[in-house]
Amino acid sequence: MSDIIYTYPVFESNQVLTSKQLNSLVNYLDQQNRLTRARLIGMGVVCGLEVSYDEVEKKLILSKGTGITSEGYLISLGECITVKYRPYKLPVGTTYGPFVDSANKQDISLFELLTESADDGAGDKPLDDATFLSDKVVLLFIESFDKDLKSCLGKSCDELGKERILTIRKLLISKSGLQKVWNRTNTGKLDAIFPEKFNLPVVNLQRVLFNPDKTHSTVYRDFSKNYADAVLQVFDQLIDALAVTYDIYRPLLLRSYGEKNPFKSNPLNNKLAKIQNFLNNTDAAMNSYHGVQYVYGLFHDLILAYNEFRDTAFDLMSECSADMSRFPKHLMIGEAIPAASSVCEKSGFRHHFVQPPVYNLQKLLVQSTISLHNRIVLMVEMFDMKRINTGGGIELKKLPIKITPSFEKSTLLSQRSIPWYYNVNKPSGYSLLGTLQDYWNFDVSRKCIPETEGLVLNYDDQLDNQSLAKSKLATPLFYDIQDYPFLRIEGQTGFDYDIALEQINKLKTQFNLPFNTIALQLDPNAEALALDYRCGFEDIQEEYRFLKHSFCSFIADIREMYKFVRENEDVIFGGEKEGKKPEEYLKKIEEIVDTLSKLCGSMPECFSQFNFKEFQNGYKLLLEISIDFILIDFKLLEKINIKKEDAEKQVPLINGIIQRFLPIVNKIADMLFYNRFFRLYCSFKRREFYLKKTTGAFSEYIGKHPGIEHQAGVPKGGTFILIYENNKNKTVFADFNLPYLCCTTENCVPMCDGVGGFVSDIEPFARPDYAITVVDVPVEIDVLRNDNVLYGGSFAVKSEEVSRFGGTVKQLSGQGPLLYNPAKGFTGTDYFEYELHNTKSGATGKALVTVVVKIAEAQVKTCYTVEILQCWGPLNIQLALRMRNIRPSDDISQSLLNSLHETLGFTQAEMQELGDNRIQELLKCLGINATAGVKPTELLIQYQSQNCQASVSRPAIAIDAKVLPAIEIVKVLETRGVVASATDSKESLEKALASSAGGNELTEPELLILTRSSLTNILNNRNLANTASENKTQLVKKLFNRR
């Protein structure tokens, strides 16, 4: 149907009609009828018309069915069983373009299939030659023949006209002959169902897998080549498949690309060559393999786009304004002997039915098919090598890190966000195409939804500054993202990993995004590994904190002692002595103290910054100065006498002793603090080594945490992993993710406490303090000096204002010291408490201060002296010590003197045991002459009463004498110089105790005379608890503490 008729005659009254006018009307109506079929209903085999061959009966069977030729001729056929065939020629006077040559002569060999009822002809042959039929295709041909009806043989010679006869011929044609027909009708193309689509290959991109034991998990080049090799395996296959897509669907696509196959011409050829050179690492202008993961991502995207195109175009079976010259009056219905086929194979020798895009979705399908193919071309064209590789001349750090929500990874590419390595807004070099963003999602584009609605999210259209909400396209994370299961994280390539982590975590925190981030080093060398010291070192840091504070507090105490000695050296040393001056020794001690202070000052707060070598050198210097002070300054080595005649033997011997003694001295010194720091440092370095390997090295990590994938982002609830080479080259060059949260550092404890850091609420350890003074003399007590709190802090002191025995306590400042003033005339042991308050944490602790108040030496009347006891003689002294169950010391005189001061002299029982002779010897040493008629015992009692008891005032406890046995009252009376007997009545003994010096108030020595049972009774009367494990001294002290 070369020309469409647009005119038809309009008849009027009395008009003489001509054959031309009548025929033009008929032709118009016939053509309109056929146009309606072909353009609005379709063309091809509608149903039925299947070919089968009965090899037994030698019959070729055509099933009933209907079809429409490309010019709209309707073919309807009942079941037809053919048994023979004969050659077929077009009727004389007729022609059919597909069957004739340029001279209108039939040059195609055709054979007509005939039924059994057909008249026999000379050339008829049965259908029993399978070889003949194997190369044949069955055609249904509408033979059109005009029969002349004019005749003068009848009653009249009037013109009867012609009759057009349409006959459906069932023909056989060879496949080679059919090729000529195709070339004359549709330039060699079979039909609009694109049967070659079944030949489009499936292209699969291999996953990139990593083995922790292989070099691709530790070496940058092998790591990158792992990706490059995976892409190169499919490079040619994919590009060839993409080129074939154009060849198959050329009628739909040729206009888009200027009738050139885009995958066989520029600009794509140049781009693909550049990518291939990059993968082969042969492009000197580019950094070796930098960004290879994104090239892998490109090919992954292209395969997804290819599959989406292939699936969409598969159902394409229509053509708008189809070429009506394809099969004007014939239909191919199949091979004479049909080949075995499946549902996935369509015969190329059958005109399948093709619908125009009227009531089905074929119109939309055509548009979608074209759009998806345009997208593939634009993806290659717009892939931006400059973004992924610094060799492109752009500073990658100028591209900010952005996070884009996306529908990945189980959706079509159209529904996903556009990756950052595409330049989405750059116009294409093909004049009829626009930007990649226009073609990314066909449904969005055809609905003309504004870009700002954010249905096609991408990196380029996001604002660099994400501080304020704009449109969903510009600031997508400000809007609802709960439907998006994936977050693309892009732009970190080229940043140092620590900066990249900081920016990603900042966005994560700002937009409350559910994923974790870590960085791993490719180089497994532990020395080059970076480590997060917040995790895994908490115990070491705590121990170091305590060690450092204890050590520095110890040094502070030594310095304070040295300062005190310096300030009071005249009193302490009383002038210069023989030999070295005290000043020289003090300077040496000051050097030692300064060395200790420097050692403390060199220790940082965080153990990760601890310089052990510096610490060790400082300690070594300290040892040198200290040992020099002892051996050199005090000339201990010089004091060793070596006789000349024995020098050969003595020198090795003495040095052998020195060389064996010094290690012992060093080890003792080491045990003070060096060993603890050394052990801690060794533990730290060992743990650091293994933690670096297990938490920081890529190869170690993937062995412990399977499932890593490069997806240019992370699923919600997953872990995003940055990869850098080593601590010298911190640039991020790759990324992965895990589909689960792993190895978070959010719960780690920092090495050092910054602002808002930990404040200990542990009660401060307020330690007991002791002081001594004399009667009526106040004493200043610096209680805070003794309270070394391990966690440090600022502390205040608050004390009781009155002591237990009436003394007063004044606070000179908030941090002490305290001024204690004993009660008037008081002697003995006094107590008061103070409270230590941590001003930072609010925690408090209490401690007891014990003050001994004694009489000044010039005021005390001593019972005995060392000289008196030495005069008495060692035998008597030893006897007295045995009587008192005192173990003799080196100075037996002093031991007995101390005991006599406690008991205020000898007891009456001891005097009786000593006997008159020994007492007489003691009286002589005391300068007391015997008196006639007076027993020596009485003289000694009188002496002790006058010299041991009268001058000393001691604290005492009032007791009820009724709880004491008679024998214990007698012993107390003896200490007071009162002679009594256990045979006396209990009542008389109680009266004697009450009337004696001190009465019923017993001093501490007197209470110690009592049995434990009596002390327990006294405590019970005072409602004071006691235990069986407490000895007499503890029970007596409890009485005075609760006095």
Burial class of residue 384 (count of CB atoms within 10 Å of its CB; 0-12, 13-18, 19+) = middle
pLDDT tens digits for range 436-458: 999 999 988 888 888 778 789 99
pLDDT for the residue numbered 630: 73
- CA 698 – CA 219 distance, rounded (Å): 10
pLDDT for the residue numbered 651: 63
Q: Do residues 738 and 718 touch, judged by C-beta distance below 8 A?
A: yes
Q: Which DSSP letter does residue 418 get?
A: B
- pTM for this entry: 0.56
pLDDT for the residue numbered 670: 79
pLDDT for the residue numbered 588: 78
- CA 306 – CA 414 distance, rounded (Å): 12
Q: Is the pLDDT of residue 118 over 80?
A: yes
Q: Which DSSP letter does residue 446 get?
A: H
Q: What are the boundaries of each domain within the chain?
A: 42-185, 215-323+341-396+412-476, 538-692, 769-854, 953-1043
Interior angle at CA 241, CA 240 and CA 245, nearest 5 = 115
pLDDT tens digits for range 516-545: 999 998 988 755 556 667 677 778 888 888
Placement of tokens 């990324």 in the chain: 735
Amino acid 134 reads S
- CA 450 – CA 89 distance, rounded (Å): 63
Task: Report the sign of the C-alpha dihedral through residues 683, 684, 689, 691, in that order.
Answer: positive
Which strands, in side-by-side order, build the sheet including 713-715? 402-406, 486-490, 713-715
pLDDT for the residue numbered 577: 47
pLDDT above 70 as % of the chain: 85
- CA 278 – CA 265 distance, rounded (Å): 20
Query: What is the pLDDT averaged over residues 971-991?
Result: 82
Task: Report the sign of the C-alpha dihedral through residues 887, 888, 889, 892, in that order.
Answer: positive
pLDDT tens digits for range 807-833: 999 988 777 688 999 888 787 888 899
pLDDT for the residue numbered 985: 87
pLDDT tens digits for range 22-41: 888 888 998 889 988 888 88
pLDDT above 90 as % of the chain: 33
Q: Do residues 330 and 69 touch, judged by C-beta distance below 8 A?
A: yes
Return the number of other C-beta atoms located less than 10 Å from residue 589's C-beta.
Answer: 18
Rounded to the nearest integer, the mean pLDDT of the chain is 83
Q: Residue 781 — φ and ψ, nearest 5°?
A: -125, 115
Amino acid 894 reads Q
Q: How many residues does the chain have?
A: 1043
pLDDT tens digits for range 57-78: 999 999 999 999 989 999 999 9
Q: Domain 769-854 in CATH: superfamily? A: Immunoglobulins (2.60.40.10)
pLDDT tens digits for range 392-423: 444 455 689 999 999 988 889 999 999 999 99
Query: What is the pLDDT averaged over residues 500-508?
Result: 95
Amino acid 59 reads K
- DSSP one-letter string for 162-200: EEEEEEEEEEEEEHHHHHHHHHHHSTT---TT-GGGGGP
Query: What is the pLDDT averaged over residues 430-435?
Result: 92
DSSP-derived pairing of the beta strands 65-68 and 44-48: antiparallel
Q: Do residues 84 and 127 touch, judged by C-beta distance below 8 A?
A: yes
Lookup: tokens for 332: 């191919």
599-608 as b/e: b if 16+ CB within 10 A = bbeebeebbb
Placement of tokens 């345009």 in the chain: 374
Query: For 473-477, 533-537, 745-749, which range has the lowest pLDDT when averaged over its residues?
Result: 745-749
Query: What is the pLDDT averaged over residues 137-164?
Result: 77
- DSSP one-letter string for 981-1005: -TTS-HHHHHHHHHHSTTTTEEEHH
Placement of tokens 């296959």 in the chain: 237
